[in-house]
Amino acid sequence: MSGISKRTFIASSLALAAAARPLDGLARQSDRKLGYAILGLGYYATQIIMPRFAECEHSRLAALVSGTPEKLKKYGEQYGVPESARYSYEAFDKIAENPDVDIVYVITPNSLHRTFTERAARAGKHVVCEKPMATSSADCEAMIAACKKAGRKLMIGYRSRFQAHNIEAIKLIRDGAIGPVRTVVTDHGFTIGDPKQWRLNRALAGGGSLMDIGIYSLNAARYLTGEEPVAVNAMESTDRSDPRFKEVEDIINFQLLFPSGATANCVSAYSANCNRYRVTGPKGWIEIDPATSYQGQAMRTQLNRQTGPREPAPQPKNQFSAQLDHLSECILTNREPIVGGEEGLKDLRLIEAIYRAAREGRTVRV
């Protein structure tokens, strides 16, 4: 082996090792896990996200933000978050002075995403914001600008991108297992209850099922095809005499057309339980049902004329911990999240197009 090729070989080996374990050096450098502040202590924050820091390598719970003092006390004590790191919404901006907090995770009603993202960025913190990113594309653009101005990273909580079955589906499709995608059929909905919840309040939610659960159908159609739609159809069905649907839509099903010719038929519903997709090409199909739930994903495929269940390649972490760590890793290595602000903005622009298509009864070109 010549000197040059040997050096090249060593460099390549080091690069490969670094790629496989990208954070070893940096994690040692910083010698700490990045600190998250959880903003908004509802069900998803307290029951789904906060317990998952235990499985994180690069992330830890460092602060809490809530409008309810009892919640701050309860969860602060439960998770060992000191009183000095518990913030009311009024006092939230003081988080700028807390060096223990690197990231703010915004888990509020949708219409508050923008203001808290902007305040977090102004406080010098990186931000992860739940989906939908905001209630308008204009708000999304403002959030992206605020984080850019502050030099901070912005991620949107598209956790399915970190989930084993969804990762496997994307890989199979990209590897050509089903041939070119022809149809994505994806249904997301649940039977919503209490008419007084914020999800049914237009001012807080920005819309109905599409904002909350139909966005999973939309985002899945995009990550499964790997394309951006060029045309949108939609059809709404809402019983306005139902006390739940005075302000927001119940069902708004939509169709997408992609540049390759791939199509998507998508359900978005607040009066039917469904959580699944099937992607079909000339060579077969891939189905996950449930597809984007918190747990319990199950995959079936028809590949090489064989139909049956399939276990995806295992992932090192659950989707929640992997998402938390992804942003930490991006900050530590100065990379952009795979689901950054632009990803949230794209969905909001399409959500606006879907609403317009339904309202105007026409195909909207996007």
- The answer to whether 184 and 225 have CB atoms below 8 angstroms apart is yes
CB burial string 109-142: b at 16+ within 10 A, e below: bbbbbbbbbbbbbebbbbbbbbbbbbbbbebbbb
Among 278, 291, 326, 327, binds its own copies (CB under 8 A): 278
Among 271, 293, 315, 318, binds its own copies (CB under 8 A): 271
Cβ-based nearer residue to its own copies, 146 or 262: 262
The DSSP secondary-structure symbol of 10 reads H
| Shortest separation between residue 59's beta carbon and its own copies, angstroms | 35
Pairing relationship of beta strands 59-65 and 126-129 according to DSSP bridges: unpaired
Question: Is 272 among the residues that bind its own copies (CB under 8 A)?
Answer: yes
Selected binder of its own copies within 38, 81, 234, 332 (CB under 8 A): 234
CA 194/CA 186 separation, integer angstroms: 26
Token pair recorded at residue 332: 């530590």
Given candidates 115, 201, 265, 315, which one binds its own copies under the rule CB under 8 A? 265
Q: In the chain, what is the straight-line distance between the N-terminal and C-terminal CA atoms, in Å?
A: 55
**Residue 131: active-site member:** yes
Catalytic site includes residue 216? yes
The footprint of its own copies on this chain (CB under 8 A) covers a number of residues equal to: 39
Biggest CA pair distance of the chain: 80
One of 87, 116, 216, 285 touching its own copies (CB under 8 A):
285
Length of the chain, in residues: 366
**Shortest Å distance, C-beta 320 to its own copies:** 24
Residue ranges binding its own copies (CB under 8 A): 182-183, 185, 187, 189, 191, 231, 233-235, 237-239, 251, 253, 255-257, 261-263, 265-267, 269, 271-274, 278, 280-282, 284-285, 302, 361-363
**Could you give the residue numbers annotated as active site?**
131, 216
